[in-house]
Structures are given as structure tokens and as C-alpha cells.
Amino acid sequence: MEYIDLRSDTVTRPTPEMREAMAAAEVGDDVYMDDPTVNQLQEKAAEMLGKEDSLFVPSGTMGNLLALLVHCQRGHEVIVGDNAHIYVNEAGGMSALGGIHPRPVKNQADGTLALDEIRAAIQTEDVHHTITRLICLENTQNICGGVMLSAEYTQQVGKIARENDLSLHIDGARIFNAASALNVDVRELVAPADSIMFCLSKGLVAPVGSMLVGSKKFINRARHLRKMLGGGMRQVGVLAAAGMISLEKMTNRLGQDHARAKVLFEGLKQVRGLKLDASPSSNMVYFDILDEVRLSVKQIADGMKKQGVLVDWAGPRRFRLVTHYWVDDAGVKKTLEAFAEVLK
Ligand SMILES: *Cc1c(COP(=O)(O)O)cnc(C)c1O
């Protein structure tokens, strides 16, 4: 059975074109920086984001960890959203592996950290305190609903960082979704940042990989640490070849996923027993199950699976549906019919 899979955009399988490019990819030993396809991908990613250099990494989690390790020493502190992936969903890597101390600041409903709260979280010089070194933003902000942070907001945070001698890292796992939804060049969203991580393996449909982007000096240090963490890969051009197609062909089609998320949202509003969050900003639709519905989220997910639709819950009474390349209009229609059937 071919399922409509809305659990995440990480489930995207490579396209036939990607598989062909992977099979035909020119490769070399990337630890020697000899893989022409990886080099091409790294140049392209840096160019698209308006930075000097970039590094292909196995996962977004490793990309974020490398950024933290380059920017911070042991005992340094990082200002980060309390709903940030880096804080909530990366297994505490910054403290376990880097001795870095997170300083969570509340994520507002729009995904931002309030500017005065960022300022207030910066440590003063005092023997009791840690040393603040870095601010992290997430764009789009996943847990807040796949919401975008604007270029203006990011500029303001960049200004706070510069004034206080801090670096700014953007967890831009879905930065191209943000650029598409805001209809701006992605360069504008990352201009104030010292480093950015984005994922090829989510809405951009590649099977594996993320990019870490920044200055030449930053990337050289990150390459060294990637080797230390065991992320120095060899003929990895076979994966970079898919990533090239992500950058060339997938970054400019994300609006379709966002449009389908809106159709899904409008349709689900008509289904009894659901309380929808605000209209989706990008490719994520979040909603709660009302108490009047006697089914658990697991029972609902099991029922949906029987109808051919895979969904994942995001809390005891909460779902997140994510649209992507492999969910077409028919898939959205089928999903709405399945919810109506399961909740009737
Ligand atoms: C998925 C994700 C990551 C990590 O990427 P992996 O490749 O799964 O390690 C980081 N940040 C955000 C916001 C994400 O959604």
C-alpha cells in the first residue's frame, strides 16, 4: 500500500532524477577535499546564502553541534529558545559533548525571542556567572507552528549580538521554507548570522545531509571538528549529487507545499472534534483533538493508517501534519476524507 505520509518532511524519498544523479556522480575522497561533487555542492550552498564557505554534514544535529563547538568553549553560555530544536531535540549535545551551558529564553507564539529578554539574558561580568558567547535562532520555528522569522527581526537580533560581542547562529533546518513563505531572498534572512545550518533532507527531498554555512575561517574549524566527531566521509559525492538537485530544483517549489498545507487546514476546520491552530505559515498544520472525541491520539493515528494515511502526534491531544514533495492534491483530499471517516 502506498501511504500518504504526513508525519514529517524528513520522510521524503529521493526523486528518480536524484537517484540517476547519485548513480552517475563523480566522486573522490572528501576527507582530502577531493570529491568534485561535494565541492560543487559546498560552493553552491555558500553562494546561495551569501557566505564565504560551507560544509556538507551528515545531519542537521551534527551541523548545529559543530556550530556550537566552533563558537563556544567549555563553560560558555548560549541564548536559545525554550522550544528550539537545539534545546529540546538534540539530546543535550551542547552540554554532553561541548560543556556548553544553554540559557533558554521563552519562544513567543510567533517563534521570536523577545529582544528585551535576549538583552536581559546576556550575562554580566561577575565571578558567579557563565560567559555568554552565542545567540541561536530557529527559522522556520518548528514547535511554534513552522512560523517564519523576518529579515528585520533577524537584523535586530544581529545588532544585539554585535553590540555585545556575541555570535549569531541560525538553525535554518527549513530556512528555504521561510524564504519562500516570506517571498524574500534567503540571503536577507541569514545576512546578520555568523553561521547557518540548513537541511537538504527535509522539504528539499534529498535522502541525507545538511549544510553548515559561514566564513572560511569558521568552516575550516568546523571541518576539523567534523572529523573529530567521526563525520569525515569519503566518496560522499553520491549524496551531494542529490543535494545539488535540492538546491537547484527544490528550493523554488516549496510554495506548493505551503499552499497544500493551507488547503489541508481549511478542510480540517470542517471536521468535527478538531481545534486548529492559526492558519499555517509554511508546511506544517498543527491542531488539538477536543475532549468530546473519545479516541486517543494513537487510536486516531491507527485509524488513519487503515485509511492509508500516516500521521504522527505532537502531544497527548495534539497532531502535526507536514506537507512535502510526495503529498499532492489527491493526497490532501484523501487525508481529509480519512479524518472525516475516523472522527465521525
Ligand atoms: C530536523 C531539524 C534539525 C536536525 O536535523 P537532523 O538532520 O534530523 O539531525 C534541527 N533543527 C530543526 C529545526 C529541525 O527541524
Using one digit for the tens of pLDDT, what is the confidence trace for 148-178?
999 999 999 999 999 999 999 999 999 999 9
Q: Which protein residues are within 6 Å of ligand 1, measured from CB?
A: 59-61, 64, 85, 138, 142, 171, 173, 199, 201, 210
Q: Which grid coordinates belong to 143?
A: 514547535
Instruction: Specify the ligand 1 atom closest to the Cα of 201.
Output: 7
CA of 126 to the centre of ligand 1 (A): 35
Contact by Cβ (8 Å): 133, 275: no
Q: For residue range 25-56, what is the model confidence (pLDDT) as tens digits? A: 999 999 999 999 999 999 999 999 999 999 99
CA of 173 to the centre of ligand 1 (A): 6
Spatial CA neighbour of 105 closest among 125, 130, 122: 122
Spatial CA neighbour of 29 closest among 238, 207, 243, 217: 238
Spatial CA neighbour of 105 closest among 145, 125, 77: 77
Instruction: Specify the ligand 1 atom closest to the Cα of 61.
Output: 9
CA of 11 to the centre of ligand 1 (A): 13
**Most informative mutation of 199, 246, 320 for ligand 1 (most atoms within 8 A of CB):** 199
Instruction: Specify the ligand 1 atom closest to the Cα of 138.
Output: 13
Question: Beta strands 4-5 and 309-310: pairing type?
Answer: parallel
Identity of the amino acid at 222: A
Contact by Cβ (8 Å): 15, 23: no
CA of 124 to the centre of ligand 1 (A): 32
Q: For residue range 233-255, what is the model confidence (pLDDT) as tens digits? A: 999 999 999 999 999 999 999 99
Average pLDDT, the chain: 98
Q: Which residue segments constitute the domains of the chain, with CATH numbers given?
A: 14-251 (3.40.640.10), 253-343 (3.90.1150.10)
CA of 191 to the centre of ligand 1 (A): 21
Q: For residue range 273-286, what is the model confidence (pLDDT) as tens digits? A: 999 999 999 999 99
pLDDT at 1 over 80: no
Instruction: Specify the ligand 1 atom closest to the Cα of 140.
Output: 13
